Structure 1
Amino acid sequence: TAVRLIGELGDIRRFTSANKLNAFVGIDLRHFESGEYIAVDHISKRGNPYARKILYRTILNMMVSARTKPSHINNYCRERKKQSSGKADFKKIAMGAISRLNRTIYHLILNNQKYDYLKTRPKAES
């Protein structure tokens, strides 16, 4: 997965922010409003479709292995599932998790760090 992601994204250090990385992948939100009408936000899908699919499958694999390999992204997915009303919300939860994964990857690469779940857990979970 990492090799395929690097192949699609290239050098992640070239992005000036994690939001630009999300835009490159195509998961940035399109927002439309006119007068008092506010449309439901959707992802733009303007970015790299292969990177988006790789990240989506990565999130699915992370959710499957959540019991043995905990992460803050799995915690996010679990909390959002509790709040959701149906199956249609799963893709929204997955896109939010991809955004968090991108921010995590971006931070770890820029700071030359390894992921440590114990450092990312909020104090309340400890």
Structure 2
Amino acid sequence: MAKLAPKRDLEILTSIPGIGKNTALRIISELGDIRRFNNPSQLNAFVGVDPQVYESGNLTAHLSISKRGTAIGRKVLYLAISQIQSAKKAGNPCHIADYYEKRKRSSETASHKKAAIASIHKLLRTIFALITNDQLYSYDIAKHNQRLLS
């Protein structure tokens, strides 16, 4: 059973538009078994894209990402976001690409990097949900679930 899990994980990851076999293998090698995390926030923290929080007295400030995880893992996910964007331009819709574009449009000052980090959060939540529920990606289901959460 343990040997079948990576093959199924590979199949699930490659069902996301823009993520090919090589990228999926790199994601699996960096993240390991995603089922060991209890929730997507733990996965975000493992990768190091969770925001740092500074607290002093009544002040609470959200700083940049924590970068606790490996830099290679963040680079692979950043690359995956670029590939998802390219796939959307080629006609393969993905709710993560829609979210990226929404974040870019929402603010005049929003940089590509901020939109990409927010999209990495969404990608990790999507990967966590797909693998823990053993489902292949479906744009219609993801879009419907995104509307429910908005």
After TM superposition, is the score higher than 0.5? yes
Number of matched pairs: 123
User: In the alignment, which of 119, 139, 147 is matched to residue 117 of structure 1?
Assistant: 139
In structure 2, runs of 5+ residues without a counterpart are: 1-22
**Corresponding residue of 1:70:** 93
| Identical-pair percentage | 45
Q: Secondary structure at the match of 1:119?
A: helix
Deviates more, 1:46-55 or 1:26-35: 26-35
> Which amino acid counterpart does residue 60 of structure 1 have in structure 2?
S
Q: Which runs of 4+ in 1 moved over 4 A?
A: 35-38
Query: 1:122 Cα deviation (Å)?
Result: 3.8
**Corresponding residue of 1:79:** 102
Task: Compute the TM-score of the two structures, normalised by the length of structure 2.
Answer: 0.74
2 CA distance for matches of 1:45 and 1:25? 7
Matches within 5 A, 1:1-126: 1-35=23-57, 37-67=59-89, 68-86=91-109, 89-122=111-144
Kept after mapping to 1: 8 A contact 2:51/2:62: no
2 CA distance for matches of 1:81 and 1:41? 20
2 CA distance for matches of 1:38 and 1:21? 23
Task: Compute the TM-score of the two structures, normalised by the length of structure 1.
Answer: 0.88
Q: Which has the higher helix share?
A: 2
In structure 1, runs of 5+ residues without a counterpart are: none
Kept after mapping to 1: 8 A contact 2:84/2:97: yes
Deviates more, 1:38-47 or 1:19-28: 38-47
What value does the CA root-mean-square deviation take over the aligned residues?
1.9
> Which amino acid counterpart does residue 97 of structure 2 have in structure 1?
N
